[in-house]
Structure 1
């Protein structure tokens, strides 16, 4: 009965989405405010129905109702509670229902929080959002119904992919979906603005907080996935340039460009066409990721489905949404009134460079991801585009971006003075050059790219410090420093913190990639291996029984060569029963200098075991840098100047 309730709620949500996507446009055409309010009412109704449907599916997983096909295919009575819940979205049907829930959540949020928007424009935005909900609900109802029944019901379910039975993967998809779906709001704003034929600074002020929320969730989701790959897959890597990883990275790149472009529209009434196009492309990349994961065109641990019929439906939906929005852009964008002019050297120009580089890199990742698929589809052979291609593109395109990040905040709007900014940043350049030369000299020129990466990271970090010093006049008027610090808006601190996060992230990537030590060994109890400045003693193994797996757990004792004992590591080699699958669970000992990382492998006979040991210096900089970026976004979002509508005090004054 619960599953039927969920199915009924899904169909009701579809009907409401159909009404919300059509009737409000009629109301706008007739200037009928009653018909316009249908957008708000149906948005709230869609969210309620989607919530009921998702709750019904979750309940079916919790009670292990194996008469529901999705539960039988992806759950098991022996699974821990967390993974029963995570199993709801750890499959094709459930993940789509989560997509719809979040789409309706943002539509309802627009209805509630957008009351200060003009009714006509708010109605357009919510109606476009409802059209997206309609498309996904049609997909669910006709090809991916999560409430299909099995008769007779099996006694036990198949279980969830053991690689997905991990806390990181439990929270990683919802975070990513909030980012993906959050970009739909920017898309809806863009389409509504194109239909209305007007993009104003106030429009940018409305769209920027929604985009920032999506960007924050997307950043957090990507870094959670990266952390999962680091400790779960057992190979010590944090990024593989997997097609599905790229599918989340591309919208992040475009969303980052969109955030900066919206600033120019808001501050200078310029780059309108740029911003509209980026809004469309960012969500288009989110839809592309949905197609890649669910069409069966790729093989990945992240992929959910391989049904060609589903792939054709998603491809058709992708063509309609992306093709339709780009056609609308081609028709209406030339009619958008151009904004203010600006010089070649200005903050606007720096942000344009930012947009070009980020968008170009997103294009490079797109080509590297899809080119092998196109070749295979054309029966032209099979190739793989590996990490060197993407890394070369990152170095070529992101290096000038890092340099520009130092100059941009110090340039004035409309017309800046490059010599003045260069003079301010001269200490940063000197410090960065000294760091690079030192590393290059110490390694006798053997790690040129490492020195280059550290130069960029040092340059950006020092630039942020100098930019804050310039804003607060630290060196010119030290006595007023604290007063000026308190006077800086939170959005400025958010920008500085996010740029600091990029620098820390770059430090983490460069240092960990350059100085990681790895040893593949066969060890028996009592053997000791040296990795970095640490001695790792193998003390043997013992069997372990988990809720739905058995494992061999290794014991390692770690000590520093001069400081003595520092801790233990206990990696596992697990064998899951439902479904039957072998996985490795790395053990990581995080230290101030880096991570000690141990993996236990197969028995080698004679009481010996294959062992993989790593020392990864400052790899924590990856997670710390990303956390600083998200925190910077939160600070910017908390700035009252980014809130929609005028401050209350100003409204009262205007009324008086």
Structure 2
């Protein structure tokens, strides 16, 4: 009964989404206040109905209700509870329902927290958001119904993909979707501004918190996915430039550019048209990512579906919203005149350079991701674009971005003098010294490591110099520092987090040590001063899997350090093996060990790595997200400028 009621709720939600699109947009055009007020009501009703539906589906997974086809295909009674819950979004239909839930959640938040917005702007924002919800609810109901019944329910299900049965990946999709879908509200703000023909500093302040929230969740989601790939897949990498990885990275790059561009709109009344375009592109790349994951046009271990019918439907959604938004932008961009004037050397110019570098970087990733598809369609050739292309084409832009960030942060608005730039000379000299020292200590290796270390120090020390400048001169520096707005602290922390991540990427890329050999029980191997001893290999049983677990002793100069337990698991229900690495984590390095199958001649294949600064990558991501949270709680966003609500024709009656 609950399942039928939940399915019915989705249909009712679709009806409210249609009404929430037509009535508020029409009310804003006709200046009908009562019609515009209904926008918030429709947004809240959509969220409540979809939340009820999602709750019922979650209950079906928790209670192993095998009368639903989705539960049969993605759950099993032996699964731990956390993976039963994760199974809700570990498939196409459930993850799409989560997509819609988050879409309506952001609309409900805008309705609740956007009461200070001009009434017509809020009505248009919620109207556009309801239009997006209409499209995706129709997609769910017509092609991806999560409540399809099974005529004869089995006693047990087929289980969840074993690769998804991991804490890191259990939480990765919700955070990623909060970022993906959160960009829909910035898109709605952009379309609403184009419909109103007005973008001002107040609009820039309104749109920044929503962009910031989406960027924070994307940062956490991408970080979790990278961390999961590192320790779960057994190959020891943190980023493979997989199409689905790129699908989440592209909106992250554009949303970062949008954050910086909105600052210029708010502070200097400039870059209006560019900011609107970035808001459209950010959500556009989210839709492109959805198409990549669910259409099957590109192969990936992360892809949810391989269904041409679904791919065509998503392509239609992409064409209507992304194509329609770009057309509207082309028609109304001239109305986005910017009044701010600034010199070539100023903070505005630095932010423009920042935006261009991020946008070009995103374009490079996009070309590398879709080029195999283009080549197959146009030239009938199967091509593969891998890490060498991305590393070569993408890295220079990130290096330039890292160089510009500290300079731009210390420049004043409108016009800068030479003295503002020369303040960073001590930091530049320190970075050159770090690069030189690292180059001298390594013997004939790549320049990536020293340059990465130098850039990391440059970003972190640039933050220190900026905060020192903000303290002013004379007594009371610490008091003035503590009184800085949270947004300024957030910017500083986020930029420092980026520096730490670059530091980690440089270390693990340039100085990793790898060893592959066959070891018998009791044998040892030397790895850059560490001793790895294979002490035992035993077959064991987990809650829903069989495992071959090794005991690997790690020592240095005869002193024990840790006992690692790499595994090779086999999930009988899914008939699929997985690899669990044994990792000894430290501040400066990880010791990473994977034990393979037994060899015909005896012994086991053992692959071991030393990964310098590996944890700095994810620590930097956490720090970046923390910086975003600090900025998000700045009181200036909670007190965004409001506007008097214009009375419509009905108000005078």
Same fold (TM over 0.5): yes
CA contact (8 A) 1:209 1:643 kept: no
Bigger Cα displacement from structure 2, 317-326 vs 75-84: 75-84
Whole-angstrom distance in 2 between the partners of 1:583 and 1:483: 54
Shift of 1:153: 2.0
Deviates more, 1:434-443 or 1:79-88: 434-443
Q: How does 1:162-177 map to 2 (within 5 A)?
A: 162-177=162-177
Q: Which residue of 2 aligns with 1:527?
A: 523
Contact 2:19 2:42 in 1 (8 A): yes
Give per-residue Cα distances to partners, 1:532-582, cap 9 Å, x unaligned: 3321111011111011110010001111227x2211100110010111001
Q: Is the 8 A contact 2:116 2:641 kept in 1?
A: no
| d(CA) in 2 for partners of 1:6, 1:299 | 33
Preserved contact between residue 411 and residue 421 of structure 2 (Cα < 8 Å): no
User: 1:125 Cα deviation (Å)?
Assistant: 0.3
* CA deviation profile, 1:164-194 (whole Å, cap 9, x unmatched): 1111110000000000111011000000000
Q: What are the equivalent positions in structure 2 for 1:437-452 lying under 5 Å apart?
A: 437-452=436-451
- Partners of 1:261 and 1:351 within 8 A in 2: yes
Alignment of 1:202-213 (within 5 A): 202-213=202-213
Q: What is the CA–CA distance in structure 2 between the aligned matches of 1:593 and 1:352, rounded to whole Å?
A: 36
* 2:433 match: 434
In structure 1, what is the Cα distance between the partners aligned to 2:132 and 2:592? 44
Change (3 A) 1:422 1:37: closer
User: 2:487·2:630 contact (CA, 8 Å) conserved in 1?
Assistant: yes
Shift of 1:380: 2.0
| 1:480-539 residue CA offsets vs partner (Å, 9 max, x unmatched) | 221221222211111111111011101100011111111111111211112233211110
Note if 1:124 corresponds to 2:143. Answer: no
- Return the match for 1:512 from 488, 502, 508: 508
Residue ranges of structure 1 left out of the alignment (5+ in a row): 648-656
The 3-state SS of whatever aligns with 1:78 is: coil
Instruction: Give CA-to-partner distance per residue, 1:460-480, whole Å, 9 cap, x none.
Output: 22212122222224xx53x42
Match of 2:335? 335
Q: Which moved more, 1:54-63 or 1:375-384?
A: 375-384
TM-score w.r.t. structure 1 length? 0.96
Matched, 1:425 2:420: no
Alignment RMSD: 1.3
Question: CA shift at 1:38, angstroms?
Answer: 1.8
Does structure 1 conserve the Cα–Cα contact (< 8 Å) formed by 2:587 and 2:615? no
> How far apart in 2 are the matches of 1:338 and 1:490?
28
| Correspondent of 2:496 among 494, 497, 500 | 500
**Would you say 1:601 and 2:600 are equivalent positions?**
no
State which drifts further: 224-233 or 71-80. 71-80
Q: Which position in structure 2 is the counterpart of 1:566?
A: 561
Work out whether 1:143 is the aligned partner of 2:173: no
For residues 210 and 107 of structure 1, the distance between their equivalents in structure 2, rounded to whole angstroms, comes to 11
- Maintained 8 Å contact 2:445/2:510: no
In 2, Cα distance between equivalents of 1:284 and 1:211: 14
**Residues 271 and 339, structure 1, Cα contact 8 Å, conserved in 2:** no
Question: 4+ residue runs of structure 1 moved beyond 4 angstroms?
Answer: none
User: Aligned-pair distance for 1:644?
Assistant: 4.0
CA distance in 1, matches of 2:640, 2:264: 19
Q: Which residue of 2 aligns with 1:296?
A: 296
Deviations along 1:390-443, one digit per CA (max 9) or x if unpaired, are 1112222111111111101111101112x2133210111111111111222233
1:637 lines up with 2:632 in the alignment: yes
Higher relative contact order (CA 8 A, sep 6+): 2
Task: State how far apart, in whole Å, the 1-side matches of 2:56 and 2:541 are.
Answer: 32
Q: Distance in 1 between matches of 2:456 and 2:205?
A: 31
Shift of 1:379: 5.0
Tell me if the contact between 1:524 and 1:540 (Cα under 8 Å) persists in the aligned partners: no
Structure 1 distance, partners of 2:235, 2:44, is: 46
In 2, the alpha carbon distance for the partners of 1:256 and 1:238 equals 21
Q: Deviations over 1:285-310 (max 9, x none)?
A: 00001000000112222111111100
Q: Which consecutive residues of structure 2, in runs of 5 or more, have no partner in the other structure? A: 643-653
Q: 1:317-328 residue pairs with structure 2 within 5 A?
A: 317-328=317-328
The 8 Å contact of residues 600 and 612 in structure 1, kept in 2 or not, is answered as yes
What is the aligned partner in structure 2 of residue 32 from structure 1? 32
Matches within 5 A, 1:278-289: 278-289=278-289
Question: Residue in 2 aligned with 1:464?
Answer: 463
Secondary structure at 2:240 match in 1: coil
Change (3 A) 1:533 1:480: farther
Q: How many residues align?
A: 642
